[in-house]
Structure 1
Amino acid sequence: MFRRAVTLLLLTLVAPGSAQLLVGHRGVGRVALKVAGGVVGLAVTLALLGLVSPGTLVGLLANPAVLRVVHATLIVLAVAWVALFIDAWRLGVPLALRQRQRLVSTIVTVVLATVAMSAVLTSSHYVTVARQSLSTIFAGTEPKDPYAGRYNILLLGADAGPGRVGLRPDSITLVSVEETSGRTAMFSFPRNLQRVRFPAGTVMHRQFPDGFSCGDDCLLNSIYTWATDHKELFPGVDDPGIEATKDAIRGLTGLTVHYYALIDMAGFEELVDAVGGITIDVGRDVPITGPGGVHRGTIKAGRQHMDGYTALWFARSRAGTSDYDRMARQRCVLGAMLDQLDPATVALKFRQIAGAGQRIVSTDIPASKLGAFVDLALKARNHPIVSVQFVPPLIKPARPDFDLIKEKVREAIEVATTPDESETPSTGTTASGGSSTSGSSADPAKSTGAGTPASGESGERDGIDTLGSACAVSRD
């Protein structure tokens, strides 16, 4: 009888309802088994859907209404499962057992019921975290169609550190992704770009018809602060700084900016730690400095696995280097995150990633577009990321050649759209998208002008290079 009692409890853990079907209320057992089978079948179906069409799965699970239903259903299932354990304990006829056996049977019931309920309620909690994160981060309400077959997304790395007035986006990158293939072109702009022009008809064009020109205070990264300080000029606009920066990039490139994503660099450290760090082959030593330029340490050249603190300094350090080198390193960090943030990492670190994301990421991408963008991201991993840095000697930040900028943008998109031999898989270490670096560490300083690779590196084409020429991204 003791073996029978324990067996009924184990059956309830493996196949809820089977104990009742064997020796108890058969009607309840049949219903419970059907529900359990349906849950398992649904989980298998979703897993297969994730393998076949990850974007469809993400689009489904990004729906707040679906997540609410899943959350409520999991709570009901947890309660019902505990009730089945209690009933299975009763069916074991504990009063007919010896005292010690009755105690063991009761302990086994409590342990198994606790384990089962904890697993289901933890899943329910993750669903709640996902719903809250999605509604907080992806708060956009206006889905936008691609322009000329491409989505153009503005990535901003902002820093409101000590001694700085207002939030200023020091890292400014436009990512242009082809809707059908995922082929990507990335354009990086220096924060100190001057005389930026705005499209006709915009608020900023009316204020600065001859360009954003007032000396060293009118830099590209100051547009955000200026518009924020003059929000009365932008009636009905939630974030004037973002609106003005989008207009500036449209004026520079001629490309419609569909969405933006802003990362607070002060919180970037937390996000990198949440994903377990990133691995990068550093081209040369990068100093870590404190207030007043005090040397605190060095990120050594070579293959380094970086935690959040180290990755943040690798991306933002200016000591002994230039803004343009820093831009190259920031592209390395973006590439590392894209290459190493796999589904397994997301699943294992989900709560940490979601928590960090809520605190440091803001965007106008609506949750309804997440499925499509996941598909695009997966497609983008199969192609080189063509990259252009608008830095000297290609342009002079104080007096940029705007026609040249637009010409280089057109050329890069043409290169990104046209398949060539650079997409051939390489046996060397690859950066995001597969651009070969021949397994060696590339020096960020070599990626100058339009990002021309050093002599002998692959990926060069008419002054345009792939992300791999700035550094090498390593997968652990």
Structure 2
Amino acid sequence: MARRAAGGRAASRAAARREREAASSLPRALGLTLASGVLWGVAHLWAGRRVTGALLMALFTALVSVVVVTVTVFRGSLETIAVQPEWLTRITVGLLVVGLVWAAVVIRSYAIVRPGGLTAVTRTVGGAAVGVLCVLVALPLAYAAHLGQVTNDTLSDIFQAGTGGREIDKDDPWDGQRRVNVLLLGGDSGPNRVGVRTDSMTLASMDTETGDTVLLSLPRNLEGFPMPPGPARDRFPYGFTGDGPQSPGLLNEVYEYAENHPDVVPGVPKERRGPELLKGTIGGIVGLRVDHYILVDMRGFADIIDAVGGVRMTVPEDIIYGKLNEGRVKAGTRTLTGKEALWFGRSRTNSDDYTRMGRQKCLLRAVARQADPARVLTRFDQLAAAARRAVSTDIPADLLPAFVKLSGEMRDGSKISSLQFVPPLISVGSPDFPLIRSLTSRAIASSEGRVAAAPTSPRPSTRPSTPSTGAPSTPEPQAKPVSLDDSCPS
């Protein structure tokens, strides 16, 4: 009996010793598992599984090498890849697969180095630690896959599927065009308004080789402009006069007129009527073909600015806004919120349309130059939701990579100049359209480093003539495009 009792006590001591040894080995096992999470195969090599360990290390090294080479050597291609649905789908699936494989490697590594004889408590601690490690390695990849899916959905919602009716050559996506002209519209819709009034209309003419851009701004209250050939010109042979006797016939009414009168743009879907008629109208005014448009709802614009973390601007003087002048964008250089940026570009209190147009160009410049990928990533869901609500366009999805490359050239320091067709250069009540077209041609020639013929159309006088007194004459209105770097406060 005594001998059996002694044997039992010895077995108990041996079991306790094994438990202590197992517990002391747990940190080593977790360390090896962590090392395998950083470099696949470490735990397998330690456990003597050399072939498997070497294969895992080789696979991991290959994956890391691909990522490094892609980010360093092919960095310029990443932005264009990020707007192609087929690539986004492949990347999303690939990220999910790598995340699952990585988690499986961590779990298997722990399984082969885990000591035996663990108590329930130490097994729980070890399992929890491995679970946390799996989350740490897989969560970033899962989030990246989520961003890819959100991007894909957003692009599908905003941009037209396909090529827009023509075959797009990857080597020459612009089909030999030296310039691409995109109409940028700010639509001022709201619950107290019927339809959309385009109070901001700027034609961006971009050099497809250099990214140098000329912004041609047209005032919302331009009158007497010709309509494009076809049903619209048949209805308004002597220039647009608006919808009825109460309408002043301004340029910002064209979009809504097309929405309400589908017969002037036959065969065009409802959501494209306004843009198509306005593209043709503005193209005729400046003498250029308008290739595409982008419409941003002004209220949604504020959400977009907030989503990217604001925009840094210099406000020369306080800008007042609101029905009772209760709002104020204070003077100074700082980061504006979405609401402040909206009113910076929208308010006409104590100023006029033309001052507002100048501020809008500076705001566009700041947004284009300050796009920060890091800030965009941290607010990506919010930005995508805001873009879906606020942006519409006819740019085909297959042309997006070319536009992304072009925008990258603009960010990298291409020249952006602006020409505004406003008084005293152009009379909005009685515009000189040959002069507008001539000035447009000169502005583009200047941007391309060419010389164009001087305008031959006389400028309309803005004051009565007076006898010469020998005093210096008043300088002529500025007719050359002005660099936004010079005209915008910094």
Q: Normalising to structure 1: TM-score of the pair?
A: 0.83
Give the Å deviation of 1:32. Answer: 3.9
Computing the radius of gyration from Cα coordinates, the structure with the larger value is: 2
CA contact (8 A) 2:232 2:265 kept: no
Contact 1:95 1:102 in 2 (8 A): no
Counterpart check, 1:393 vs 2:417: no
Pick from 341, 344, 353 the counterpart of residue 374 of structure 2.
Answer: 344
Q: What does 1:229-378 correspond to in 2, within 5 Å?
A: 229-238=260-269, 239-289=272-322, 293-378=323-408
Q: Does 1:193 align with 2:222?
A: yes
Aligned-residue sequence identity (percent) comes to 36
Q: What is the correspondence of 1:25-424 to structure 2 with a 5 Å cutoff?
A: 29-51=53-75, 54=76, 56-97=77-118, 101-139=122-160, 141-142=163-164, 145=174, 149-200=178-229, 202-214=230-242, 216-238=247-269, 239-289=272-322, 293-381=323-411, 382-418=413-449
Letter in structure 1 aligned against 2:484: L
SS in 1 for 2:326: strand
Supply the distance in 2 between the matched residues of 1:42 and 1:132 (Cα, whole angstroms).
Answer: 27
In structure 2, the residue matched to 1:9 is 33
C-alpha distance 80-209 of structure 1, shift in aligned 2 (>3 A):
same
Do the aligned partners of residues 119 and 24 (structure 1) sit closer, same or farther apart at CA in structure 2, a change above 3 Å counting? farther
Distance verdict in 2 for CA 1:39–1:279, change over 3 Å: same
CA–CA distance in 1 between the matches of 2:369 and 2:50? 52
> CA 1:26–1:363 in 2, change beyond 3 Å: closer, same or farther?
farther
Question: 1:423 matched to which residue of 2?
Answer: none
Instruction: Judge conservation of contact 1:150–1:178 (CA < 8 Å) in 2.
Output: yes
- Give per-residue Cα distances to partners, 1:377-413, cap 9 Å, x unaligned: 2333423312111111111112111011101101111
The 3-state SS of whatever aligns with 2:150 is helix
Task: Write the distance in 2 (CA, Å) between the matches of 1:244 and 1:468.
Answer: 33
Count residues with an aligned counterpart. 428
Q: CA deviation at 1:50?
A: 4.8
- In the TM superposition, what whole-angstrom CA distance separates every residue of 1:1-58 from its partner, at most 9, and x where no partner exists? 223311221122202343234427656545544443333222212212454xx2x322
How does the TM-score come out when normalised to structure 2? 0.81
* Contact 1:78 1:116 (C-alpha < 8 Å) held by counterparts: yes
Deviation for aligned residue 1:103:
3.5
Distance 1:24 1:97, change over 3 A: farther
Letter in 1 for 2:62: G
Q: Deviation per CA, 1:392-440: give whole Å up to 9, x if none.
A: 11111121110111011011112211299xxxxxxxxxxxxxxxxxxxx
User: Which ranges of structure 2 fall in alignment gaps of 5 or more residues?
Assistant: 1-24, 452-461, 463-476
Decide which moves more: 160-169 or 10-19: 10-19
Structure 1, unmatched stretches of 5+, are 421-448, 450-459
Distance 2:69 2:235 in 1: 56
1:87-117 CA-partner distances (Å, limit 9, x unpaired): 2221133433455543432221011011122
CA contact (8 A) 2:231 2:263 kept: no
CA RMSD of aligned residues (A): 2.5
Rounded to whole Å, the distance in 1 between the matches of 2:107 and 2:216 is 62
Amino acid at match of 1:342: D
Seen in structure 2, the aligned counterparts of structure 1 residues 187 and 324 have a Cα distance that, compared at 3 Å, is same
* More off after superposition, 101-110 vs 270-279: 101-110
Instruction: Supply the AA of the counterpart residue of 1:46.
Output: T
